Structures are given as structure tokens and as C-alpha cells.
A and B are shown apart, each in its own frame.
Chain A
Amino acid sequence: MSTEVMAISSAQQAERTWREALHEWVTTVDHKRIGLLYIGFALVFLVIGGIEAVIIRIQLMAPHSDVVSPQVFNRMFTMHGTTMIFFAAMPILFGFGNYLVPLMIGARDMAFPRLNAFSFWLNAFGGLLLYFSFLGGSGLYGAGSAPDVGWWAYAPLTARAFSPGSSSDYWTIAVLVSGFGSIGTAINLIATILCMRCPGMSLGRMPLFAWLYLTMSGMALLALTPLSAAQLMLLVDRYLGGHFFDTQAGGSATLWMHFFWIFGHPEVYILIIPAFAFMSEIIPVFSRKPIFGYPVMVAATVCIAFVSMSVWAHHMFTIGLSSYANSFFAITTMVVGIPTGIKIFNWLGTMWGGQIQFKTPMLFCIAFLFQFLIAGLTGIMMAAAPFDWQLSLSYFVVAHFHYVIVGGILFALFGAFYYWYPKVTGRLMSERLGKLHFWLFVLGFHLTFDVMHIPGLLGMPRRIYTYEPGRGWDSLNLIVSIGAFVQVISIAVFVANLLISYRKGAKAGNDPWDAWTLEWSISSPPPAYNFASIPVVESRRPLWDLKHPEDPDSRYE
């Protein structure tokens, strides 16, 4: 960089009352605060979704259990899925993007700060609305409470005939509203990344984190629209006499499936691509080498974005599509595995020849590599449609997607927490507690989700509140549930670490990890204005160039 970077510590905060502080947080348009709001809300919903999962696992520990009624169980799995996807995963990933993207590209804020705040509050209110259903879902007919139609809300189960009361409407409107928030943040990220990069930072020089969030935002725009459209159509069916999905009047159940999965499949790539972003920033720093094959990583990501829009009906292999349709989707699903595999090889290539430091963020990334590899391979197995005719709708699928979401995304998120917490708070998280959290979570995760594949292979379908003894599923389900309890303990350790480190953590300084992207050039926590003067960059790793003036990247790129 040709200008000096001033490491200015945060200005002394004037004394303010708790009311003033609350007002500041509620009315903020600062991307860093909004990012933290997203992350905070998402962590709360993550815990709530986790409680719902624990209730499910307690019920399924033994056959013919009656810990909860079938009605409550069906609400639990519906709310667990809906909460985790829309009110835990999406917001936490948008939160990290919000906080870090402007810092990484040398900008002072997002392109549209007020849209940013509006999008967050849409998401937050959506979450509150969904949970209000527990109180208000009884509706006019005294039926229903929280939605119990599954997180895909398949038609015609959501029709008035089969879901009386308002529970399905809470699902529809809460997700619809939060979807608009996601669209707003996606627009904001795209505009910010395309228009607000600092001088010298061409698209080919911005961190992979920015490329991946750019791609993810583009996909969000494309994917959320069909879902919102379908939800509006469902509301028309339920309240305005429409029959889009109303099979009793000639409507089509498969129409909903197509709309939902045209959203649903890109959605899971929208969730994993930010996890790839975390991996692509953390692994190089702890291997002490630049990312292997930056241009290929960008190309692979864009490839994934396009191909993933063409695979949706692999969620519909059992609904009776023609053999030609099934073959097409089987092929595209396997093809999307190629760029994804390339990314795994590139991370491996980054570590190869490096000096790997096994600090907590890196531990989580290493676990991601193994686990995401397995998850991808079980996905390839199910892409073979005839195999999927057995495995679909069984616990094999549940194991597969939790392997991706928990074993992949959540592990990468934990890595990201340990890596960027020092930047946000100015203090390092405890390495001891971090390693305890890591090993406990690895144990619990594998106990639950490795074993869970087996009942699926033995014929156990999903979304059942109880099961028959003697099918060979009993002890397996018990082990799965025990793993869940271990994960709960691990999360408690993580939350404790977050809270304790805030007061007692070692001071981090600007750059505790000896990293190379722009956010490490400013103070921890950053000042409200991010950069005293906008940086000018000459390579992909501006801080490497500063620290190694005899051998800067700019000489080789």
C-alpha cells in the first residue's frame, strides 16, 4: 500500500445511559452494528432451534415413546427446520457478511445503510412472528398453534381443508417477510462489492470472501423470488379463493414442489458458499500460504452458482417424473459436485507445503474438510436416482444434510467466530475452552450424524413421531440422541467462551493472527468510520506486501 495505515483505537465513548445505548442499537445503520444484531438474533434462534431438536431426540430415544404428543412433535420438526434455515443460518451468514465485507474491501459502510437496517428488522420481525404462532396460531376455528406442515410446507397439506386455523399462515408470512429482508441484504452486498472497493482493488484483487458473498447474494436474488411467489399464491389459495395448489379443485401439488425446490436447492448453496468464504480466509492464514488457485476458486464458485440452479428436482426423484427428467437432474446433480470437489482440492493445495498452525479456528476448518467431503459423497450417492428411491425421505437424507449444515456450515461458522472475535471485541477467545468446545462438538456431531445414516439405510422414514420396535432402529436412535446431548454441552462451552472472553480474554491488538486482508490493518474493535483514510492496494494481500516489502505479492500477480 502506498499510504500509511493509521491504527487508530476507538475514540473514548462518552458515558451514556442504558436507554441511550439501546436507542443507538435499535436505530443504527452502521454495518458493523447491524452485523452484530444479525449474529446476536441468529444465535438466540440457533439455541431455540436446538431446543426443538433436543425435544425431537428425546422423543425418538426409544420406540413408542410418549414424551410429547404427535401434534407437538410435528410442530417441533417444522419449527426446527424453519427456524434453523431462515432465522439462524441465513441471518448469521448475512451478519458476518455485513460486518466484514466493507472492512475487507476498504469501504466505510455498505452501499445502502438504511436498507441494511430495514432488512435486518424484517428478518427479526419475521422470526418473532413465526414464534408468535405458539400463542396466536389458534385462529378462528380454534385449531392449530405453531405450524406443523414441515419446513417445506408441501401442498395440499397447507390447504384450508387439511390445515385449519392460522398455523400455516404464520409459516407463510414470517418466511415471506424475512425473505424480503434477505433480498434487501443481497442487493446491498452486490452494490457494495461492485461499487465501493478501494482504489487498486480490482475484482481480481479482492478477497475470496468478497467474491463468495457476491455470488451468494446473486443466488439469493434468484432463489428467494420463486419462494415468495409461491407463498403469495398459497395465501391466495387460502384466503382469496385461489386453487393453484388446491388439489381438491384441480390444482397441482407438484407445482408447489417445483417452486419450493427451485428456491430450496440454491438456498442450501447460499448457505454453504459463505462457509466456503470463511474457509478461504482462515486456511491460508494458518497454513502461512496464499490460497492455492485464486482464479480457479472464483471460477468454481460461479460455476456452482449456475449449475446449482439446475438441480432442484433431485429433491423430487420419488414423485413420478419421467425417466428423462430424472436422468437430467441426476446428471446435473453429479456435475455440480465437480467444482465443489475442486474447492476441496484447492484448500488441500493451500495447506500442502505450508506451516500449519493448529489453533482453534484452523481445527474447525480441518474438521470441515473431512466432514464436507463425506457429506458431498453421500450427496453423490443420492444423485443416483435409483439409490435415492430408497434413501429419499429417510433418515439417510436427514443425516446427509445435517452433515453439510452442522458438519460443514456450523463448523466453519465456529472457525469464523474464533478467527474474527478478536477483531470485533479486541480480545482473543480462550484457546483452552476453544479446544474443549471443538473436541466435544466433534464427538457429539459424529455420534449423532454418522450413526444416523444407518436407520435410514434400514428403512426409517423421516418426520415420524414414533417408530415400531424390532425394525433394528432402537439402539441406533438412542446413540443419535446421546450425541445430541453431547452437542448441547459443547454449545454451552462455546457460549461461555464468548461471554468470558469478552471480559477476560487476552488483548488482541490489530492483527493477532498475522493475517493479510484489510480488516487486520485497523484497530480491534474498528473505529466507527473503519478507515481513517481509504487504503490503496496493489495486490490480493495488501498486508503481506506491507510486512514483506522485499517480496510483495504485487511483484507476482
Chain B
Amino acid sequence: MFVLAITGTIFIVVATLLIYTLVKFRATAAKANTEPAQVYGSTQIELAWTIIPALIVVVLTVATARVIHAIQDAPKPPGALEVVVIGHQFWWEYRYPTLGIVTANELHIPVSEPSGPRPTFLQLMSADTDHSFWIPQLAGKTDLIPNRINELWMDPDRPGVFFGQCAQYCGTQHAKMLLRVSVDDPDDFDAWVQAQRQAAAQDESAADGRRVFETTACINCHTVRGTAANGRFGPDLTHLMSRATIASGAAENTAENLRLWIENPDAIKPGSLMPAMKLSDSELDALVRYMQSLR
């Protein structure tokens, strides 16, 4: 707001002078055939309108440098949560190294109270091209660049669900690499962590689907902890049903959309790297039932 106040004031002052000039010094019929005084310049005026902007710039740069340092060089308090974010074309991988959790696309972080601050410190990496992590209501953006580790911290002061999306063009489906962050009360967060730590739910009624999953190429890309599937190319599906959306926010997490996504991903996110799995109808139905059992 401070910066806006300064630039806004400059605009009002200069624009007013401009408008005044245009009105006061317009050519009139009375002055036709005469030329105005031919003034070449004025050293004092030039000095004045050099020094004043220079002073404004000094003020702005001091203020800016202080904020840059405060944000980028902020120390990490002991209670901070550590999350590793790995950007992929076109989804987000989240690892919580101290909590032993791996998930995808929907981030859960605890709310941070002033009495006992618990900010989240994110380490940002990329598996392929450049991406950028941007949740406008929680923090400025920082890019995810391959072969580089960037850091970002968020200190949310109220719970809620916050939206964002990838902000650095990363390929065909950059537009649908959406972000969803759930800032949870401490109890909700702990409950979520506990649930995510468990291995995949074993639901006997979905055994057919599980067999389909384990005997097709699914396991090459996806991980379901507690089964043979430990692929790293695609999102971790162990607790797929704990998410509100699939395909990194491109569609709601419903049976219909799951079926469509596996059968024909181009219908939801054309150009994404999920292949159409070419399964029969019965296999597809069984597989979707299995997916829905992964709570």
C-alpha cells in the first residue's frame, strides 16, 4: 500500500499538471500567427525534478530492501513444518520428510498461531521443466527450477481452503496445474497426518480392481503404499479419496470423472502425460471401484 500511495501521488500530481497545461496553453484564434516565447530550458527546474524523484527512489529502495531481507532471510523457527514440493508436468508432488508422508496435488498445512508459530517451509524442486508455486492469499510465488532448490515459507493465520495454480509456463497443460491448500486447525491437521501415514486400505470388495491395477502399467507410474505399485512418475494414489479433485484440480473426484480420466484423459486435460489405459468396460468399472476404496 505504501508503494501504491507513492506512485498514486506521483500520478495525480503529474496528470494534474498535464491537464492544466493542455487547457491553459492551448492555441487560440486570438494568438494565431504569433509564436510563443521560445524557452530553451531552465537549470533550476531540471535540478528540482531530478532531485525530488531521486529522493523518492531512495525512500522506496530502503523500504524495499528491508522487506526483501525480512522475507527471504527469515529464520526457520523450531516448530516449522517442512514440506518438499516437486513440480511435474502437470501435477504437484508433496513429501513431508519428518512426518513420513507422500501425497499429491492437495496440500495440507497447519494454521500458525501467534502464540506458537508453526509456519510451513517449502523446498521447491522440479522433475522436468520450470514451474511456479503461487497461492496468492498465502504467499508470493517462487519458481520450481530443475537442478535448483528454492525455498518459500507460508505463515497462515486462519484456517480455510486456498486456491492457486502454476504460474510459470511449463507446457501444454500449464493452465490446469492447479493448487489447492487446506490450512487446518491443529487437531484436523494431526488427524490428516495420521490417516496419510497408513498404508492403503484393504477392501476385499475391490479385490478385482486391485488385480487390474497391479497387473497393468498403472504400477509403473503410480505408488499405492502396501501394494506392489511403487512408480514415481505419476501422483501417489494411496489416499486418493482424501482429495476433492483429480488431475491436479482439473476435475472433481467422482466415480464418473475417475472413469473418464482413466479411459480418455484427453477429455479432461488434453496433453497431460496420463495415457489412455485401453481397458475393457468391466476392467474399468472394477478399477474405479478399487480407486474409490483408497480412502
Chain A interface (Cβ < 8 Å from any Cβ of B): 69-71, 74, 148-150, 154, 156-157, 161-162, 247-248, 250-254, 287-290, 292-296, 318-320, 322-323, 326-327, 330-331, 334-335, 337-338, 341-342, 344-346, 348-349, 351-358, 366, 369-370, 373-374, 377-378, 380-381, 383-390, 392-394, 458-459, 461-468, 471, 548, 551, 553, 556-557
Contacts and interface: CB of A to CB of B under 8 A. Distances in A.
Nearest to A163: B171
B39 A292 contact: yes
Interface in B1-44: 3-4, 7-8, 10-11, 14-15, 17-18, 21-22, 25-28, 31, 34-42
Nearest to A350: B39
B147 A247 contact: yes
Nearest to A247: B146
B175 A370 contact: no
Interface of B: 3-4, 7-8, 10-11, 14-15, 17-18, 21-22, 25-28, 31, 34-42, 45-46, 49-50, 53-54, 57, 60-61, 63-65, 67-69, 71-73, 89, 124, 128-130, 132, 134, 136-137, 139-143, 145-148, 150-151, 163-176, 178, 249, 270-271
A148 B170 CA distance: 10
Contact of B40 (A74, A250, A381, A556): A556
B130 A331 contact: no
B133 to A, nearest CB: 10
Given A162-B171, A318-B132, A356-B25, A323 B36 contact: no
Contact of A373 (B15, B61, B68, B141): B15
B68 A327 contact: yes
Given A331-B61, A356-B27, A370 B41 contact: no
B22 A338 contact: no
B167 A355 contact: no
Which interface residue of A70, A248, A385, A548 has the most chain B CB atoms within 10 A? Answer: A70
Nearest to A295: B41
A370 B14 CA distance: 9
A342 B270 contact: no
Nearest to A349: B45
A392 B141 contact: yes
B11 A289 contact: no
Given A247-B146, A353-B25, A385-B68, A318 B128 contact: no
B57 A461 contact: no
Contacts of A341: 49, 53
B142 A352 contact: no
B36 A385 contact: no
Contacts of A326: 68, 72
A157 B141 contact: no
Given A323-B68, A356-B25, A380-B3, A393 B10 contact: no
B141 A390 contact: yes
B175 A253 contact: no
A318 B143 contact: yes
A310 B64 CA distance: 18
